[in-house]
Chain A
């Protein structure tokens, strides 16, 4: 009971002088307000406990190294330390936000694996096969231009030089090739999507 009446400043003095019980009294006296303050900003019990612990580690180190000067009051000083640690916590979290899995929120709703599944790979292979077959049906001059452009990545200038026609003719053949492909796809209602 006597502890309740002992002022904080005296307890701090006693603690600095080596009385470890003084710290226990200080923590007991203020734990609720300090922890409540941290929790009001953090809303997570585990993190609040961590920040509470870090706050008092700083308090202990400062008092033990005789760096504390009794300018203000003990509680506002401790609150200031915890406030700074809360800000540090948010700064860190901004760089690396932490997500917790809850019933309403699943981490996998914002994270996905982009690598294609076996099914996707099978569909892609099928689509490629279908396109190749469709290209085989095109007139030779159109097929030639389309293959050089799409599969061999040649420019229309190069295509025109190889085929011995003008660039405009190559462009025209490419246009007709695509139009004919679309026609066949529409006619047979072929699905070429993955």
Chain B
């Protein structure tokens, strides 16, 4: 019965973000450093 009345999930593959997005995030994280000086926050992106 279960076979008759249940459908296969329409989502066959797990959805994932684009590889470029993940790669960008990892590179961004590596490049970013945050400095806190006297209640002020500085974001520094190194090349």
Contact = CB atoms under 8 A, between A and B. Distances in A.
Nearest to A34: B17
Contacts, number: 51
Contacts of B15: 32, 35-36, 39
A48 interface: yes
A24 B26 contact: yes
Contacts of B26: 20, 23-24, 27
A60 interface: yes
Contacts of A56: 25
A27 B18 CA distance: 12
Prevailing SS type, chain B contact patch: mixed
B22 to A, nearest CB: 6
Nearest to A15: B29
A134 B29 CA distance: 80
Interface residues of B, number: 19
A166 B36 CA distance: 87
A35 B41 contact: no
B21 A49 contact: yes
B43 interface: yes
B16 interface: yes
Interface in A127-178: none
Interface in A29-66: 31-32, 35-36, 39, 48-49, 52-53, 56-57, 60-61, 64-66
A39 B21 CA distance: 15
Contacts of B33: 64
A57 B16 contact: no
Nearest to B26: A24
A27 B25 contact: yes
Interface of A: 20, 23-24, 27-28, 31-32, 35-36, 39, 48-49, 52-53, 56-57, 60-61, 64-66
Q: Considering the complex of A and B, which 3 residue pairs feature the smallest CB-CB distances, nearest first?
A: A32-B14, A65-B34, A64-B34
Given A31-B16, A53-B17, A64-B34, 13 more contacts: A20-B26, A20-B30, A23-B25, A27-B26, A36-B15, A49-B17, A53-B24, A60-B25, A60-B28, A60-B32, A65-B36, A65-B41, A66-B36
17 contacts: A20-B29, A27-B26, A31-B17, A31-B22, A32-B14, A35-B15, A35-B17, A39-B15, A48-B17, A49-B18, A57-B25, A57-B28, A60-B29, A61-B32, A61-B34, A65-B36, A66-B36
